[in-house]
Amino acid sequence: MCDVFSLTECDVIGFDLDHTLCRYHLQETCRLLFESLAKYLVEHKGYDKDLLNITTEGWDFCFKGLVLDFEEGNLIKLAEDGTILRATHGTKNLSTNEIVQHYGKERKWKHFNNLNGTFTRSAKYYFYDNYFDLPGALLFARVVDLLQKNGNQTLADFSKDLISAIDHNYNISAFKENSGTFFPSVKQDPGKYLQRCPDSVKAWLQNLKNSGKVLLLITSSHSDYCRLVCEHILGHNFEDFFDIIITNALKPGFFSQIPNQRPFRNLVNDIEDCNGLASLDKPGWYSQGNWTHLNDLLKKMTRKSTPKVVYFGDSMRSDVFPASHYGNWDVVLILEELESEVIEENEVNSKDISAEPLEKKGKYEEQSIRIPSATSHQWGSYFLDDYKGINELEETQKYTWCCSCITTYSTIAIPSIEAIAELPLDFKFQRFSSHKPRTVGYYPKAPISLMKSRQKE
């Protein structure tokens, strides 16, 4: 495989929507997502009203890459070999001895091999891998705290109640019916939650299309919400940027093989046609669908037997792994943690910030929650962590499972599309590779935590 990647080599450029083309104001969105579920549990399922009360420190718990071990009732952070680096029961940190009591001296999670390399979901565990998921981890932890305090519900009850809360807020008709908390809030004030694409990104999209590329938009969001988001971030002519738009794609199932393929469906006034299409014959806007029929259309459009496709996405489970593993597409991972590490480093090195009066800093911090892409005090770095076994005298550093997945399944990782929008289309990016240092493959530069770790080697 070539060590470099360039967009000029690609025939087709595909995009996820949420947290990829559309960047959210993460603090406001995180709060809204949590409240949309918690309010339902309190108002419809009788949960303690205290569930809604989150301190500034409590938001630090929201961390991408956690795994919910439903059997033990714990949230865990995994190393690349399945070792448990950190764990909590509820929001309370577990000590090394407590982790050993749950998982044995080796601290190996027994379901790791089932999750690693498949990303399948199970009744025994859940992987939180995108920003829409994060408030769910905090919600679970807070419920465990309240169960220990009050004991009037069980985790089995919570699982059922959470499914009801999700359905109430996010089912296919919720946007149209203005039900739940999330959609009405975004519809009322989209600018509070959605960031408009800068002119550089719009020009970049147009440049891609003018250069003869086929542009795709593939999102699991329903068509009505997709329309609202795209009109806000790209303008009312957003459809002109794309040759094919696919909504309600239900990723990662979109990449499923026979016999689990869902047919494409036409849309009329945002309502899916009940009759599935036998094939995809022309560009346009469709719902659901599958990778095989899309690939057949791309062959016709590009006049190539194996068109080269790159897909931009933020979710390892829904975008990166299936597009790479099943679709054999190149994948650009949108990783906002890259941007956050730079901001954090600048703040640490800034004399102005460090000299700011403590009372002023405290007042500011109380008004907002931690940016979910920033390093968590409770969970540490997204990329690596210190590890100390029960009989070890010295700490060692281990790469996280998430860090390993990035280098295994992504072609490159960038903090945002804006970060590359002004580069020439023939710019050559260094690919991730098993024979290169782990710092190679990130643009514009590797995570600061990884670079510091490499300097110590």
Domains and CATH numbers, the chain: 1-22+197-347+385-457 (3.40.50.1000), 26-188 (no CATH)
Distances (CA, A) of 307 to 9, 13, 163: 10, 11, 39
Instruction: Yes or no: say if 315 and 133 are a contact pair by the CB < 8 Å rule.
Output: no
pLDDT given for residue 339 in this prediction: 86
Rounded CA separation 81/337 (Å): 22
**What is the DSSP-derived secondary structure letter of residue 241?**
G
| Per-residue pLDDT at 195 | 97
Residue 353 confidence (pLDDT): 43
Tally the C-alpha atoms within 13 A of residue 279's C-alpha that lie toward its C-beta.
8
- The pLDDT, as a whole number, for residue 354 is 44
Clarify whether 16 is annotated catalytic: yes
Contact 43, 338 (CB under 8 A): no
Closest CA to 90 of 38, 142, 49: 142
Q: What angle do CA 21, 26, 29 make, to 5 degrees?
A: 100
Q: 18, 69, 145, 330: which one is catalytic? A: 18
Question: Nearest Cα to 68, choosing from 57, 53, 78, 79?
Answer: 78
Active site includes 18? yes
Digitized pLDDT (tens) for each residue of the chain, 457 residues in all = 579 999 999 999 999 999 999 999 999 999 999 999 999 999 999 999 999 988 888 899 999 999 999 999 999 999 999 999 999 999 999 999 999 999 999 999 999 999 998 998 898 999 999 999 999 999 999 999 988 887 666 777 888 999 999 999 999 899 999 999 999 999 999 999 999 999 999 999 999 999 999 999 999 999 999 999 999 999 999 999 999 999 999 999 999 877 789 999 999 999 999 999 999 999 999 999 999 999 999 999 999 999 999 999 999 999 999 999 999 999 999 999 998 776 666 655 655 544 444 333 333 343 457 788 888 999 999 999 998 776 666 678 999 999 999 999 999 999 999 999 999 999 999 999 988 999 999 999 999 889 887 666 5
Assign 3-state DSSP to the chain and report helix, strand, coil percentages, each to 5.
40, 20, 40
Query: Is residue 334 left, alpha or beta, with left meaning phi > 0 and alpha meaning psi from -120 to 50?
Result: beta
DSSP-derived letter for residue 4 is E
User: Rounded CA gap, 253 and 260, in Å?
Assistant: 8
CA torsion, points 284, 289, 293, 294, in degrees to nearest 10? 50
Phi first, then psi, for residue 46 (nearest 5°) are: 75, 20
Phi, psi of 156 (to 5 degrees): -65, -40
Instruction: Count how many residues are written for the chain.
Output: 457
Task: Please give the Cα distance from 292 to 327 (Å, whole number).
Answer: 9
Supply the pTM of this predicted model: 0.92
Per the residue annotation, which of 3, 11, 16, 314 is the catalytic one?
Answer: 16
Task: Kindly list the distances between the CA atom of residue 402 and the CA atoms of 119, 133, 261, 410, in Å, as whole numbers in the listed order.
Answer: 12, 15, 28, 11
Rounded distance between C-alpha atoms, residue 119 and residue 137, angstroms = 17
